Amino acid sequence: MTDTDGAARRRSVLAVVPPARPRKLAKVPFVELADGRLQGVVSSGSDIERVYVSSVTAGSHAYHCSTNNNRPCGGLRGAPCKHLESLADEAVLQYGVDRVARYLRVDAGEGTQTGVELLSRLDARHEPTSAAVVFSRFLRHLAYLELPASTTVLPELHWFPSTGAGR
């Protein structure tokens, strides 16, 4: 016997990643749990050309926010700024609070519903990181929408059925 016995053990098709839940993208066009961080891009409320790059690192809970040109966010005054709060709220909408908490390695506790509430449970500290990696991931993300549609058959997608009807 192995320690992997269970219902999923010999199934080829099962939803390991629940589909992202729909949310409005205008304020926070990009959120992801990747590179060991909750990270994303928040549109500036005042300047349509400007975006903020915000992130929280899993485990250490170090956070940072800056413009995509690495200019530090003026809203960081010993606590997460409103961009980080928006990022966390939208992440919870997109992934659910449990998945975000698990990734960041924080105990969500009973009754935590929003990203702001989750942020308040972190023993967070500010630590500058470069915006370049996250911003380039955002640009790559956008570039998917520039790829042309295709008639190439992808037999591998039989492992990935669309799911979640009527959600």
Partner 1 sequence: MLGTQLAQLRDGTPTGLTDADDVVAGFDDALLRGFARVGEQDAAALTALADAVVGTPLGERVAEAVGKVTAGSVGQEHLAALAGARSALLGAAHDALLDQLDTALGRHRAPWTPTGAAGDPSPARAAARSWLHETALAGWRGIDHELLSAVGTPVEAALAEPQSRRLAVLLDGFAAELRAGLPVATMAQVPVRRWADLWSRAVLLAQDGPAPVPAIERVTGRLLPLGVDVHEHETAVQVQLHAILEPADGTPPRLVRVTVGAAKVATIGGPAVWRLLSAYPALLTAIAQRRALTVTDLPAQDGDLHWVDGQAQVGEPADPFATARVLLGTATATALPPLDRHPVAIAEPVLLEGYTVHDDAAAIDLDGHRLAVALDRLPAGGPLTPALVAASSTCLGLIRWDDGRWLLQPLAVQATVKRRPVEAHNGDWADGVTDPKVAKAESRAGDAVAVLRERAGRLLRR
Write down the least CB distance from residue 65 to Zn ion, Å: 3
**Closest approach of Cβ 140 to Zn ion, in Å?**
22
Q: Residue 19 has which token pair?
A: 């589909």
User: Does 83 help bind Zn ion (rule: CB under 5 A)?
Assistant: yes
74 binds, among Zn ion, partner 1, none (CB under 5 to 8 A by kind): none
Q: Scan for tokens 């911003």, then name that residue.
A: 135
Nearest of 148, 163, 146, 140 to residue 32 by alpha carbon: 140
What is the longest distance spanned by two Cα atoms in the chain?
Answer: 60
Residue 103's binding partner among partner 1, Zn ion, none (Cβ under 5 to 8 angstroms by kind) is partner 1
119 CB-side CA count, 13 A: 26
Residues 75, 108, 116, 121: which binds Zn ion (CB under 5 A)? 75
> Given the rule CB under 5 A, which residues bind Zn ion?
52, 65, 73, 75, 81, 83
